[in-house]
Structure 1
Amino acid sequence: MKPSNIPHFGLYGDSSWINDPEFFHIEDIESRSSELGWKISPHRHAKLFQILILRSGEAKVQLDGLQQKLLGAWAIIVPAGVVHGFRFAPDTDGRVITIAEPLLEDAYKEKAAKYIKPLLSQAGQINFNGNRNVFNELWPLIQQLESESSYIREGRALMSEYLIKAVLLLLHRQQKTNGDANEIAKTGNGNAHHLKELIEQHYRQHWSSHQYAEALGTSASRLNRLCKATFDQSVLDLIHARLLLEAKRSLIYTVRSVEEISYELGFKDPGYFSRFFKRCTGVPPGKFRAQSNQASL
């Protein structure tokens, strides 16, 4: 049976919350997934980033509503809050790195921020199959990170932090080499990215563009121009995209009714929610749910 809510985990299968600002964890893909038939059901983590490094094998990857089949050497980026699931071919070789958000907060204030923060801002995959030389630089860092996690040694946390940053920088380089179309636009003004953080906090309250602008100490017109320059979307587009994403998650991964979902997302009228959903997707919520349930990992 599908759960009534999308499950939140610390690590997969462990519902206990990991409240450690320096927490990181690395494990072999086989160690957890082989006992589960090589399938990790859709779930999400509230305050943990995950990076999967595939060395060889095959993985069917689900990130929110998107599915993709990956063969060979890949990195998979899973930011906090993103619903994700996997089905691995037996004997797939790879590692799963889990990092607490606070561990990266200092990095966001350093010179590395311009490389690391965009990389981890949204889910995606980075292909290493065409550049094994870079992957051969990456893999020893993964092995060293495993070693640091296995023993209690002086400076262990600091060494792990440096290694994680080195891993992220190599991922950024490969992403740039691939010309990743999913990399978000960069801006010298932090307001655009701060806006996304505010939308994450208030999208259920249906804040207006003026409310977001007031919270950021700017005008609605200036904020819209900044959004257009940074994300090629208006403030309203970003608000609607976040509402739509959560609506899709609820329709795919829960058994709540359309009416319940509409109220949970702050809509006062389920009919308006249905019209909003159809306007954005071209299909009503019920039909979207039926179509989504036809395909699974």
Structure 2
Amino acid sequence: MRIIYFSHKHSFFRKVKKNIMKHTIPQFALYGEGRWIDNPDFVHIEDIEARSSDLGWHIKAHQHTQLLQILLLKSGSVQLQMDTDKRFLEGCWGIIIPPGTVHSFRFAPQTDGRVLSISDAMLSTDFANAAFLRAADCIDLNHEQEDFQHLWQLLNLMEYEFQRVKSHKTQLIEHLLKAILVFIERHHSTRHAQHQSHDDLTLQRLKSLVNQHLAEHWKLSAYASALNVSEKKLNRLTLQAYGKTVIQLVHEHLLLEAKRNLIYTQKSVEEIAYDLGFKDPGYFSRFFKRCEKITPGQYRQALERQN
């Protein structure tokens, strides 16, 4: 297996265009370095300072369609936004950013930390469907200093191996990567006490189908047929796990995509409606108002006033 990597305190950097494209959420391989070119063996590690210090410690909103990112914050602070969730983190934190999550950072100057980027395809079969890597998450490690130090040392070892010329380097990196993921999974399991089962796998596959067919507005029967389960059982699983029916989850995801576009692009309400599969922009506006109590235009105006 071939691993692509870069790791230097002030590594190469291509200047990011100042103007965010009007009609899309910016997508990068790594921030500022062009769009993703399929590479199933891609792994990258760098200091937070290497990329953000040249940009005034501000990484604007963007997404990676094929990359999982794990940030380990050692000191300093960050104002973080992941989709519609805003957080302020200070001290020792782990941050999980799954593929497709729109995110931005505003770091305090001299913030110390590492960013590990992994091709989605690079994850071993042990972690390919792991729930803890499929939802954006922030892990407070301020009171878990021993575990934090172990994680930090693993990242240091990974960077060290990247810089060495050894015949078994790829194998070593795989082992280090697995150790890092095991540490994170342990914290997630402790906090959430989740257990994988056949039903969990069905729910994971459902999420994937919702993402793939969101703009097609699939009915419950289509999801049940694709998953080879009854409509009744599928609704029962989602109600038990999330307190929502399948269609409620689909509508929730439609609303999230609508908000992403209203927040991060300058698309018109009509453009967003058509992109999300609504044949009538008026119906889209009514759908949005039913969920949020305000129209898409009012939602965008409220955001502009806040900013």
Instruction: Within 5 Å, give how 1:35-54 maps onto structure 2.
Output: 35-54=54-73
Q: Distance in 1 between matches of 2:165 and 2:242?
A: 44
Q: Say yes or no: does 1:57 pair with 2:102.
A: no
Q: Distance in 2 between matches of 1:260 and 1:268?
A: 11
Paired letter, 1:3: M
Match of 1:273 in 2: 284
Mapped contact 1:51–1:75 kept (Cα < 8 A) = yes
Deviation at 1:105, TM superposition (A): 4.4
In structure 2, the CA distance between the partners of 1:184 and 1:277, relative to structure 1 (3 Å rule), is farther
- 2:117 maps to which of 73, 86, 98: 98
Q: Which ranges in structure 1 are unaligned for 5 or more consecutive residues?
A: none
TM normalised by structure 2 equals 0.89
Q: Say yes or no: does 1:14 pair with 2:23.
A: no
Deviations 1:56-79 (A, max 9, x none): 001010101111110000011100
SS at match of 1:129: coil
- 1:128 maps to which of 130, 134, 141: 141
Mapped contact 1:259–1:270 kept (Cα < 8 A) = yes
Match of 2:106 in 1: 87
Q: Distance in 2 between matches of 1:166 and 1:108?
A: 12
Q: Distance in 2 between matches of 1:206 and 1:106?
A: 31
- 2:216 maps to which of 197, 202, 205: 205
SS at match of 2:70: strand
Match of 1:218 in 2: 229
Q: Distance in 2 between matches of 1:37 and 1:31?
A: 11
Deviation at 1:231, TM superposition (A): 2.8
Deviations 1:247-269 (A, max 9, x none): 00000011111011001100011
Mapped contact 2:45–2:115 kept (Cα < 8 A) = yes
Deviation at 1:188, TM superposition (A): 3.0
SS at match of 1:266: coil
SS at match of 2:222: helix
TM normalised by structure 1 equals 0.92
In structure 2, the CA distance between the partners of 1:264 and 1:103, relative to structure 1 (3 Å rule), is same
Mapped contact 1:25–1:149 kept (Cα < 8 A) = no
In structure 2, the CA distance between the partners of 1:24 and 1:236, relative to structure 1 (3 Å rule), is same
% identical equivalent positions: 44
Mapped contact 1:8–1:44 kept (Cα < 8 A) = yes
Deviation at 1:21, TM superposition (A): 0.7
Q: Which moved more, 1:146-155 or 1:70-79?
A: 146-155
Q: Distance in 1 between matches of 2:299 and 2:88?
A: 22
SS at match of 1:107: coil
SS at match of 1:195: helix
Q: Distance in 1 between matches of 2:40 and 2:77?
A: 33
- 1:158 maps to which of 171, 180, 202: 171
Mapped contact 1:184–1:231 kept (Cα < 8 A) = no
Match of 1:140 in 2: 153
Mapped contact 2:27–2:35 kept (Cα < 8 A) = no
Match of 2:204 in 1: 193
In structure 2, the CA distance between the partners of 1:175 and 1:286, relative to structure 1 (3 Å rule), is same
Mapped contact 2:70–2:94 kept (Cα < 8 A) = yes
Match of 1:240 in 2: 251
- 1:287 maps to which of 275, 286, 298: 298
Q: Distance in 2 between matches of 1:35 and 1:29?
A: 11
Q: Distance in 2 between matches of 1:278 and 1:12?
A: 34
Cα RMSD after superposing both structures: 1.7
Deviations 1:178-234 (A, max 9, x none): x35xx8775432212111111110011000000111111122111111222233321
Q: Which ranges in structure 2 are unaligned for 5 or more consecutive residues?
A: 1-18
Q: Which moved more, 1:204-213 or 1:237-246?
A: 237-246
